[in-house]
Amino acid sequence: MQLFLDTTDTAVLKDLATTGLVDGVTTNPTLIAKSGRPMAEVIAEICGLVEGPVSAEVAAMDVEGMLAEGRKLAAIATNVVVKVPLTRNGLIATSEFAVEGIQTNVTLCFSAAQALLAAKAGASYISPFIGRLDDHGADGMELIREIRAIYDNYGYDTEILAASIRTPAHVAEAAIAGSDCATIPPATFEALFKHPLTDKGLEQFMADWAKTGQSIL
């Protein structure tokens, strides 16, 4: 499973990238606003920090605007993936990007039917928003299972990118459900390493090791 970082914080990205576990990055207009930096500058910097896909979202709502913005974003670096909203216009733009060989991430997916349309349009990635569905009283993980079944039934190669991840359990459940990727906020990514029993066990091992008075080196 590919693990992406959902962030525009390049300091945090640099730090987590040293683990070798960050396969890519996703951004959105909210995260660009949070960075306080020009979008082209922050996307270029992120693309220099990770070799994998970096999603950069268009802001236009019309097809021509999406195409113009997407082409400009794709020109920033070879690993840019153009993120488009799951609207009728977004899927028309997705089809054209597919013809032009520009990778796309179709975002704001909240139903299996929407995901089916995105795959038919030739999306490289589909982003179902798990946490926001849970917030809404629905079962976000069920959507991952439904999309997996549909894509497997018809052999679509659109990759499922579980988004709006809130907890380590979301990451594990998305992996069990067969999601190809998950995009994770930095704090949740850090939490993936941790378990209280790991800390407790290590503390005991180190205390017992100290009693031996030995040194491995």
- Closest listed residue to residue 8, CA positions, set 47, 43, 49, 50: 43
Candidates 13-21, 93-101, 127-135, 142-150; binding stretch for ligand G3P (CB under 6 A): 127-135
Give the CA distances from residue 94 to residues 62, 157, 158, 188, in Å, rounded to whole numbers and listed in that order.
12, 15, 12, 30
Q: Is 83 a catalytic residue?
A: yes
Binding mask 27-66 for ligand G3P (x = CB under 6 A): -x--------------------------------------
Q: How many CB atoms lie within 10 A of CB 186?
A: 17
CB of 164 to ligand G3P, least distance (A): 3
Distance, in Å, from the CA atom of 49 to the CA atom of 137, rounded to the nearest integer, reads 37
Binds ligand G3P by CB under 6 A, chosen from 6, 69, 146, 159? 6
- State which residue, 129 or 151, has the beta carbon closest to ligand G3P: 129
Which residues does residue 129 pair with via DSSP β-bridges, in sequence order? 163
Q: Residue 40 half-sphere exposure, CB side, CA atoms within 13 Å? A: 8
Q: Which of the residues 34, 72, 83, 194 is marked catalytic? A: 83
Interface with ligand G3P includes 94 (CB under 6 A)? Answer: no
- Closest listed residue to residue 55, CA positions, set 108, 104, 16: 104
CB of 56 to ligand G3P, least distance (A): 11
Interface with ligand G3P includes 131 (CB under 6 A)? Answer: yes
Q: How many CB atoms lie within 10 A of CB 146?
A: 18
Binds ligand G3P by CB under 6 A, chosen from 7, 8, 164, 188? 164
With beta carbons less than 8 A apart as the criterion, state whether 57 and 39 touch: no
Distance, in Å, from the CA atom of 74 to the CA atom of 77, rounded to the nearest integer, reads 6
Candidates 11-19, 58-66, 124-132, 197-205; binding stretch for ligand G3P (CB under 6 A): 124-132
Binds ligand G3P by CB under 6 A, chosen from 132, 175, 190, 191? 132
- Closest listed residue to residue 148, CA positions, set 175, 183, 124, 108: 175
CB of 88 to ligand G3P, least distance (A): 20
Q: Which residues bind ligand G3P (CB under 6 A)?
A: 6, 26, 28, 129, 131-132, 163-164, 183
